Amino acid sequence: MPYRLNINGTIRRVAVPPDMPLLWVLRDELGLVGTKYGCGKGLCGACTVHVDGAARRSCQLPVGSVGHAKIHTIEHIGK
């Protein structure tokens, strides 16, 4: 399914299943590897991104649930 994601202030288009975790969209589809895979259960925080300003665990967040949210990854921090 095609999605338009606002990642670090840039609109990025991806065609992935709606249940694909945002973590794998960021890493595998968009090449943003700053967000890490840790435990895969949302406990360790290695996969944390900001979604509309709130910290979220991207390994547990289906891409189909982010809608038109503004997503910021570690690559955006410090810019």
* 14 domain residue, yes or no: yes
What is the chain's length? 79
79 part of a folded domain: no
Q: Is the pLDDT of residue 67 over 80?
A: yes
pTM of the predicted model, to two decimals?
0.94
Per-residue model confidence (pLDDT) at position 62? 98
CATH number of residue 31's parent domain: 3.10.20.30
**Number of structural domains in the chain:** 1
13-38 pLDDT tens trace: 999 999 999 999 999 999 999 999 99
Give CA–CA dist 35/73, Å, rounded.
Answer: 7
Q: Structural domain of residue 52, as residue ranges? A: 2-72
Could you give the strand order of the β-sheet that contains 2-7, starting from the edge strand earlier in sequence?
A: 10-15, 2-7, 70-72, 48-51, 54-57
Instruction: Give the residue ranges of DSSP H helices in the chain.
Output: 22-24
Percentage of the chain modeled with pLDDT above 90: 94
Instruction: Decide if 7 contacts 70 (C-beta within 8 A).
Output: no
